[in-house]
Amino acid sequence: MSRRASILATGSHVPARILSNEDLEKIVDTSDEWIVSRTGIKTRHISGPGEYTSVLASRAAANTLAAAGLAATEIDILIVATVSAEMTMPSCACLVQKELGAIKAFAFDINAACSGFIYGLSVAEKYILANPQLKVMVIGAETLSTRVNWQDRNTCVLFGDAAGAVLLGSSDQGDGIVAEKLFSDGTLYNLLYMDGAQSLNPALRNEEFEGSLIKMVGRDVFKYAVNAMENAVRAVLAQAGVAIDEVRLVVPHQANIRIINKLTQKLGVDPEKVYINVTKYGNTSAATIPLALDEANREGRLQSGDYVILCAFGGGFTWGATLIKWQ
């Protein structure tokens, strides 16, 4: 049986504070009806004071370690996918390492926006295939509430804060990452981006500058997201020689219920097999897939030997899909 990088345990964490559509009606000119009909989102979790991205990430990782029955000192590599770390340097992953006491690990961040978690899985897989002894923690964590313009109704209703994680190790029982395909197209960066706090950013010298906030051309993003994820899923299934009907669960990036429904329809997959929790959490970027995977796992939606497809799309543009055989 071929050796694969397998998910040993999952975990997640969301901040306690919930912001409803009714709460948003008091902040911007919007309505529950508009938000639900265009996005499917009803609530999102928002970090409170001190609940930084590294804090959410550490809690998700601690829950994952508890589920795996492993100590933090047993982690060899710690990867955090994020675009909303509280510091540019050190990496969010180093802050998580400190918080967990994962002294043996080397730690670094990945920026692939909403696709960051599946990019992280891909990197983890390569290390594990090279050295089966390794245990790798991959975390997707965001506090996008600190990066949206709360005056911009086009974007502020869409996003939320959360973290999710998986612990990976080697398996020779056939379970693990079967196939994956990652893509990027930097020529389309200006359809979804966040100004960075970089020295090249002239706005930083402007006294009016109000921070590095998300900017998006929603309609264009919508169209690209559906087509890109459909093609990525088809490519991965073809690579593995697996039919869509053989897949037990599709865990798509949770940006918008209409994107997910359109993808479901185009793939011709039974909607019962598509995991949806965007209703509760909104778009938590790199955290959506590991958070959804952890919920699905804890709900008993995954049995040993099941095929699970993850697919993501995000700023960059970045996108891709991962086919996993559940452990």
Nearest to 275 by CA among 291, 243, 252, 244: 252
CB of 248 to ligand COA, least distance (A): 25
Q: How far are the Cα atoms of 189, 195, 205, 275 from residue 199, in angstroms, in the given order?
A: 19, 11, 9, 41
311 counts as catalytic: no
Residue 253: active-site member: yes
Among 117, 119, 193, 313, binds ligand COA (CB under 6 A): 313
* 100 is an interface residue for ligand COA by CB under 6 A: no
Helix axes 257-267, 32-39, angle to 10 degrees: 20
Encoded one letter per residue, x for contact with ligand COA by CB under 6 A and - for no contact, window 252-271 reads: ---xx--x------------
248 binds ligand COA (CB under 6 A): no
193 binds ligand COA (CB under 6 A): no
Which of the following is catalytic: 114, 256, 297, 311? 114
- Per CB under 6 A, 215 contacts ligand COA: no
User: What is the number of the residue whose Cβ is closest to ligand COA?
Assistant: 218
Selection from 284, 176, 183 nearest residue 233 by Cα: 183
Catalytic member of 63, 94, 253, 256: 253
- Exposed/middle/buried for 64, CB within 10 Å: 0-12, 13-18, 19+? buried
Count H helices and E strands in the chain, helices first: 10, 13
Give the Cα separation of 160 and 178 in Å (integer): 31
Nearest to 325 by CA among 300, 293, 303, 297: 303
Q: Which of 80, 94, 95, 157 binds ligand COA (CB under 6 A)?
A: 157
| Interaction of residue 34 with ligand COA, rule CB under 6 A | yes
- What are the C-alpha distances in Å from 257 to residues 129, 234, 263, 276, 313? 35, 20, 10, 8, 14
Q: Which of the stretches 1-9, 91-99, 215-223, 302-310 binds ligand COA when contact is defined by CB under 6 A?
A: 215-223
Binding span for ligand COA by CB under 6 A among 2-10, 32-40, 49-57, 199-207: 32-40
Using CB under 6 A as the binding criterion, the count of chain residues that bind ligand COA stands at: 21
CA torsion, points 71, 77, 81, 83, in degrees to nearest 10? 100
Helix axes 288-298, 116-130, angle to 10 degrees: 70
Catalytic residue among 21, 111, 256, 283: 283
Q: Which is nearer to ligand COA, 46 or 225 (CB)?
A: 225
Distance of alpha carbon 231 from its chain centroid, rounded? 19
Residue 30 contacts ligand COA per CB under 6 A: yes
Binding residues (CB under 6 A) for ligand COA: these are 30, 34-35, 38-39, 114, 153-154, 157, 216, 218-219, 221-222, 225, 255-256, 259, 283, 313-314
Query: Which residues are catalytic, by number?
Result: 114, 253, 283
